[in-house]
Amino acid sequence: MNENISQLAQQLGHELLAKGWQISCAESCTGGGVGFAITTTAGSSAWFREGFITYSNDAKQSLLGVSEQTLIDYGAVSAATVEAMAVGAARKANAEVAIAISGVAGPGGGTLDKPVGTVWFGFFVQGEKISQKHLFSGDRHGIRLQAIEFALSNTLKLLSK
The CATH number of the domain holding residue 80 is 3.90.950.20
pLDDT in tens, 86-133: 999 999 999 999 999 999 999 999 999 999 999 999 999 999 999 999
Quick one: pLDDT at residue 97? 98
Quick one: pLDDT at residue 68? 98
Quick one: pLDDT at residue 114? 96
Residue 160 burial class via C-beta count within 10 angstroms: exposed 0-12, middle 13-18, buried 19 and up: exposed
Cα–Cα distance for residue pair 159/126, rounded to 1 Å: 10
pLDDT at 16 over 80: yes
Q: What is the mean pLDDT of residues 59-87?
A: 98
Domain residue limits at 46 = 3-159
pLDDT in tens, 19-33: 999 999 999 999 999
pLDDT at 17 over 90: yes
Q: What is the mean pLDDT of the chain?
A: 97
Task: Give the confidence band of 1 by pLDDT, cuts at 50, 70, 90.
Answer: confident
Quick one: pLDDT at residue 161? 82
Tally of domains within the chain: 1
Q: Is the peptide bond prior to 115 cis by the omega test (within 30 degrees of 0)?
A: no
Cα–Cα distance for residue pair 10/126, rounded to 1 Å: 21
pLDDT at 64 over 80: yes
The sheet with strand 97-103 has its strands ordered as: 48-53, 23-27, 97-103, 118-125, 128-135
User: Helical H runs in the chain?
Assistant: 3-19, 33-40, 57-64, 68-74, 79-93, 140-159
Cα–Cα distance for residue pair 37/58, rounded to 1 Å: 25
Q: What is the mean pLDDT of residues 8-15?
A: 98
Task: Give the confidence band of 140 by pLDDT, cuts at 50, 70, 90.
Answer: very high
Query: CB of 102 within 8 A of CB of 70?
Result: no
